[in-house]
Structure 1
Amino acid sequence: MHRLILAITFFASLMTYTSCTNTKTDERNPDLAKFFDTYFEERLKLFPLEATTQGDDRYNDQLPNDISQAFIEKTRQFYSNNLKQLRSFDRQNLSDADKVSYDIFEREMEVQLEGLKFHQEYIPFQQFWGLPLTFGQLGSGAGAQPFKTVTDYENWLKRVSAFKTWGDTAIANLRKGIETNMVLPASLVVKMIPQMNDLVVADPTKSLFYGPISNLPADFSREDKSRLTAAYKKAIQEDIVPTYRKLGDFLKKEYLPKARASAGIDMVPQGANLYTYLVKTWTTTDKTPEEIYQTGQKEVSRIRSEMEKVKQQVGFTGTLDEFFTHIKNDPKLYPYKKPEEVLDAFRAIQAKIEPNLKSMFTKTPKTPFEIRQTEKFREASASAEYNQGSADGSRPGIFYVPIPDASKFNITSGMESLFLHEAIPGHHYQISLQQENTALPKFQRFSWYGAYGEGWALYCESLGKELGLYTDPYQYMGALGDEMHRAVRLVVDVGLHAKKMTREQAIKYMMDNEPISEDGATAEIERYMAIPGQALSYKIGALKIRELRSKYEQQLGDKFNLAAFHDEFLKDGCMPLDVLERKMDAWAERVK
């Protein structure tokens, strides 16, 4: 599941969930609840793009200059004040449910404040994410920014005028980065330049940002259509194109010559401390980079051993690398002719696991679920993904599968593990149950922590055999390939940012241990270079969930119930792993 996240990102959709847990442990302090609600409202005003993403239209005309020193100081005060107010509550006198909320909130404020000292605004965007990319998605008319009413169209024009100011500040900040040696690797900058240049057009009607005008609602008056068309052409010509041109020219002429040759963030000022901070932020643990590196190597070795067993099981006599090549080229592993056959194969997976899910989960989502082929206009570059359902039930949770050519869909691509991760019981169960739980404070109900959310989805892949899957060795090989990819990430992410591993060495390590093309490995490694630590969250989260399950199986013996464990895990939504462990330990004590 791919999402732009800082440490908290808010999901949009509300449904109803009635908690059946012990009221003593779940009783809420009304004053604390009011404080959390006030925080959530203030946060949406401060970060209006979060409100837009969530479907809240109140701030759709606002685009704060969030990389300016004035804004950064404003956020520092926001987090400091909220942390101070939180600590006016006596945690010891709170219910178990409120203690969980308190701990999540306290940690979030502390982490956000700590991050401000590293001057990450000196690298305001890169090739993987940042406002110049998000702005294109919003302004295309196909993203979260609505273009249904005249007011919607006028709101976007106000954001456009603010984007110009943001672009100038980005260049000023990048210059400060050059002065202080806080710069991006050159290999990433060369990917950013064409991204900026692609949005520079001579004819405004050819711009990505002309999309909303090409799709003007039919019920707009002739005068509004004419006025808005002229205004959008002017905005593209005078604000948007000059901003992207200026960014592209600056990156090429001034920034690229000063970009660094090294791959790792440890080569910038405070780099080692910054990476330790990012590891803590993304994994929500206090594990050191070295611990994670050692874990990654052990996991790579373990999974390779499992792959060797599958190779022997199917009677392949060559090396593991030759087996990777074989499964990519064997015609028998490409059985599909039509997209509908691929979709039916996924529907069959859902039907196969349905009976066994009942023994693993007592609480299941009310949000409907569908499997769909990714739309033609975006499937060529899309990955399989899960899009959560809407509040009113009008939009189900959707598992999207891109199928540009059904005849090239390989069954060893991990179809069974993919379904468990992206769909059921992975993201669909976790996100839907979180959104449906109206007992949670909103900041918690719409939060996202990758170590928890992606960790859960990866843990769900490990449930395959218990759910009746992975009986076909090639499907199991696909699952192992998916798991290997997450294990390799632990080695190369830490290797790049803490152990002087070069970009080329990281690419080679990835290709040596999983069936991936050089282009695919390069894109992955450059993603890890751009967002240090993010790729660690998946495997670290999954390992922690498996560790907790094993701990309680041993502690509780006959009293351990897997469905009760899963229900308790999912009940309070996304949270840092250290908070999660305290919550689950308290649950185990109650079960005893």
Structure 2
Amino acid sequence: MANLTAQSSRRWWRILALGTAAVLLTGASAPELSGLVVRYEHFAEDYPMEAGRSDPSRSREGWPGETPEGMARRKAELERIAAELDALDGATLTGEDRVNRDYLRELIGWRIEGIDFDERRFAFVAHEGFYNTPYSLARGLDVKSEAEARVWAERMRGIPRYFAEQRANLERGVATGWTHPGVVIDVAVAVLRNQIAVPAADDPMLASLTAYPAVRAEAQRLIEREIRPAQKAALAYIDGPYRAKARKELGIAAVLGGRAYYDFLLRYYTTTDLTAEQVHAMGLAEVQRIRAEMDKVIASTGFEGGFADWLRFLRTDPRFYATSREGLIEKYAAASKRIDGVLPRYFSVLPRQPFTIVPVPRELEEGYTTARGGGGGDFARGFAGTFVVNTSHLDQRPLYEVPALSLHEAAPGHHTHGALNNENPELPSFRRARDLLAFREGWALYAERLGHEMGVYRDAYEKFGSLSTEMWRACRMVVDTGIHVMGWSYAQARQCFAENTALADINIDTELARYIGAPGGAVAYKVGELKIVELRRRAEAALGARFDIRAFHDLILAQGQLPMTMLEAKVDAWIAARKRSGGEG
């Protein structure tokens, strides 16, 4: 039965491929390319943290070597694979083989360039970092036997060594001037303090061991005797010697080689050759456009007062805020089910995998973003997708943003995209991974925009909430480039959000710490969304009445992830094929 199900799944995706004019070609890959893809995937398996992005089952395995020596070995293997990809005869590769070769080569190039910049010197970025890695892996565990429980408990023994390696990376950053500013350090310190404050018996790393009390007791002793001291040592170092050498400037361009690093990050995150100056100009144009749309929505309500008065009203009127953590989760659940009811009008292919909505763990919620969608879950292993909602500071979590965030993080945004990736056996694993922010986040932001067509936003407040979250992403383009290249102050960056969005103060500060700590990534959302919108408009103009919105969406989601230039080529080929076939297929 399992084989029959797998065969049916493959046939279903092949039918989808043919239904999109054979733009997604299937069948056996060229042997030479297949061998290199396998090599790359085996390479990833040697570094479980990287492999875990696309295969969470590897989360019980050893810790990666992120020392300079380990990264040098990683680079050498990547260079060998890259050289063999370059040596392939491009004339013999067609369809998806050529796409896979070109994308894998570009992906490897980015990996090598990141290693050359010695990115591991930044071992944390605000609420994300090495100190969260054990917890992230623990949440992905599916322990089904005592033997598996012991494997995880044994792996936990490596956490102190892993922390020591990351401290050495941070020390190398201090020695070379590659440190974070204080605003990023503040968040890291808060996260570590919250983790340390949890009694060892309640530590989330033990959650999967409940059915195996002897193993759990052993792991708890390990937390008390070795892991907590390692966490305390990390906290003492980051809040002490590291903070003393904190970067005074907010922007990465201030460090040696920082501008070149930022330019690389823009290429990687946007998958384009856009410069920081071009991205900044695009962001300013979007801010102006969205602000005009906001003014129209405000006028439709009959509100008397200026824009600042309107924002003050939204931020302070109790009707717009939940009164309990459970109540906020219920609002997200209701919005998600309302969205489910209209999805079939816009998608002919939807995932089998459901998702659940859960609060951000208490030890992580301080400094954590408002909401976040997972990668779609794992049907085979019995894991639903996860939509995580921050239920702290309820007076800072406006309900008028709930529909837009549900569209973005769950369906048809991240969950739908991730689950379809997982359920598509025709995609190699590196195209199912979550590496390309421009594609992944661009699609999710497009999903927010689609909510207007779908009728998801029921009143002026929810429509404004959608525009506010879109403005949030437009301001990111302006603020990220402003901070990291143009020398903006914290006050300048904050002003863009405070004057143009309905974001609460805590959300603005959380987001700014994130952008300062992780340069470049914040701009990818809008760059990707604008490209998808451009491609849809191109298809609508070219096909007229023959344009099929469901087929267009199915085409985009069938790609897994691709750089924007490759996605554009896919859509152009699809348009040409539908023209030839009269709109069928």
Q: TM-score range by the shorter chain?
A: 0.7 to 0.9
Q: Could you tell me which residue of structure 2 aligns to residue 390 of structure 1?
A: 378
Q: Per the alignment, in what secondary structure is the counterpart of residue 250 of structure 2?
A: coil
Q: 1:146 to 1:331 in 2, by over 3 A?
A: closer
CA distance in 2, matches of 1:428, 1:77: 35
Q: Per the alignment, in what secondary structure is the counterpart of residue 463 of structure 1?
A: helix
1:257 pairs with 2:253: no
Question: Comparing 461-470 with 266-275, which one deviates more in the overlay?
Answer: 461-470
How far apart are residue 492 of structure 1 and its match?
Answer: 0.5
CA distance in 2, matches of 1:438, 1:571: 11
How far apart are residue 529 of structure 1 and its match?
Answer: 0.5
Equivalent residue runs for 1:203-282 within 5 Å: 206-207=199-200, 216-218=209-211, 224-225=214-215, 229-230=217-218, 232-233=220-221, 235-282=222-269
Q: Which amino acid aligns with 2:251?
A: G
CA distance in 2, matches of 1:160, 1:27: 42
Q: Could you tell me which residue of structure 1 aligns to residue 104 of structure 2?
A: 105
Q: Which amino acid aligns with 1:433?
A: L
Q: Could you tell me which residue of structure 2 aligns to residue 6 of structure 1?
A: none
Q: Could you tell me which residue of structure 2 aligns to residue 82 of structure 1?
A: 81
The answer to whether the 8 Å contact 1:264/1:529 transfers is yes
Q: Could you tell me which residue of structure 2 aligns to residue 167 of structure 1?
A: 163
Equivalent residue runs for 1:30-49 within 5 Å: 30-32=30-32, 34-35=34-35, 37-49=37-49
Q: Which amino acid aligns with 2:116?
A: K
How far apart are residue 103 of structure 1 and its match?
Answer: 1.8
Pick aligned residue for 2:506 from 519, 525, 531: 519
How far apart are residue 528 of structure 1 and its match?
Answer: 0.3
CA distance in 1, matches of 2:93, 2:408: 35
How far apart are residue 215 of structure 1 and its match?
Answer: 7.2
Q: Could you tell me which residue of structure 1 aligns to residue 350 of structure 2?
A: 364
CA distance in 2, matches of 1:530, 1:539: 19
CA distance in 2, matches of 1:116, 1:342: 43
Q: Could you tell me which residue of structure 1 aligns to residue 172 of structure 2?
A: 176
Pick aligned residue for 1:491 from 445, 459, 478: 478
CA distance in 2, matches of 1:344, 1:153: 33
Identity of aligned residues (%): 27
Q: 1:518 to 1:178 in 2, by over 3 A?
A: same
Q: Could you tell me which residue of structure 1 aligns to residue 339 of structure 2?
A: 350
Q: Which runs of 5+ in 1 are unaligned?
A: 1-13
The answer to whether the 8 Å contact 1:37/1:442 transfers is no
Q: Structure 2 length as normaliser, TM-score?
A: 0.86
Q: 1:118 to 1:136 in 2, by over 3 A?
A: same
CA distance in 1, matches of 2:107, 2:504: 38
Q: 1:546 to 1:154 in 2, by over 3 A?
A: same
Q: 1:378 to 1:468 in 2, by over 3 A?
A: farther
Q: Per the alignment, in what secondary structure is the counterpart of residue 18 of structure 1?
A: helix
Question: Comparing 566-575 with 44-53, which one deviates more in the overlay?
Answer: 44-53
Q: Per the alignment, in what secondary structure is the counterpart of residue 38 of structure 1?
A: helix
Q: Which amino acid aligns with 1:73?
A: A
How far apart are residue 86 of structure 1 and its match?
Answer: 1.8
Question: Comparing 52-61 with 459-468, which one deviates more in the overlay?
Answer: 52-61
Q: Could you tell me which residue of structure 1 aligns to residue 131 of structure 2?
A: 132
The answer to whether the 8 Å contact 1:28/1:95 transfers is no
Q: Could you tell me which residue of structure 2 aligns to residue 591 of structure 1?
A: 578
Q: 1:441 to 1:376 in 2, by over 3 A?
A: closer
Q: Which amino acid aligns with 1:229?
A: A
Pick aligned residue for 2:14 from 10, 19, 30: 19
Question: Comparing 310-319 with 94-103, which one deviates more in the overlay?
Answer: 94-103
CA distance in 2, matches of 1:112, 1:137: 22
CA distance in 1, matches of 2:134, 2:185: 19
The answer to whether the 8 Å contact 2:355/2:385 transfers is yes
Task: Give the number of aligned pairs.
Answer: 561
Q: Per the alignment, in what secondary structure is the counterpart of residue 500 of structure 1?
A: coil
CA distance in 2, matches of 1:403, 1:169: 33
Q: 1:130 to 1:588 in 2, by over 3 A?
A: same
Q: Per the alignment, in what secondary structure is the counterpart of residue 373 of structure 2?
A: strand
Q: Could you tell me which residue of structure 2 aligns to residue 29 of structure 1?
A: 29
Q: Could you tell me which residue of structure 1 aligns to residue 3 of structure 2?
A: none
Deviations 1:58-88 (A, max 9, x none): 672411221x121111111121111122223
The answer to whether the 8 Å contact 1:213/1:229 transfers is no
Question: Comparing 465-474 with 496-505, which one deviates more in the overlay?
Answer: 465-474
Q: Structure 1 length as normaliser, TM-score?
A: 0.85
How far apart are residue 321 of structure 1 and its match?
Answer: 1.2
Equivalent residue runs for 1:79-478 within 5 Å: 79-138=78-137, 141=138, 143-200=139-196, 206-207=199-200, 216-218=209-211, 224-225=214-215, 229-230=217-218, 232-233=220-221, 235-330=222-317, 333=320, 339=327, 342=331, 345-346=334-335, 349-350=338-339, 353-354=342-343, 357-358=344-345, 360-365=346-351, 367-369=352-354, 372=357, 374=359, 383-387=370-374, 388-392=376-380, 394-397=382-385, 399=387, 410-413=398-401, 415-470=402-457, 472-478=459-465
Deviations 1:325-373 (A, max 9, x none): 222334555699984973674266326524xx43x333333x1435646
Q: 1:37 to 1:229 in 2, by over 3 A?
A: same
The answer to whether the 8 Å contact 2:122/2:173 transfers is yes
Q: Could you tell me which residue of structure 2 aligns to residue 567 of structure 1?
A: 554
Question: Comparing 538-547 with 143-152, which one deviates more in the overlay?
Answer: 143-152
Q: Which amino acid aligns with 1:451?
A: A
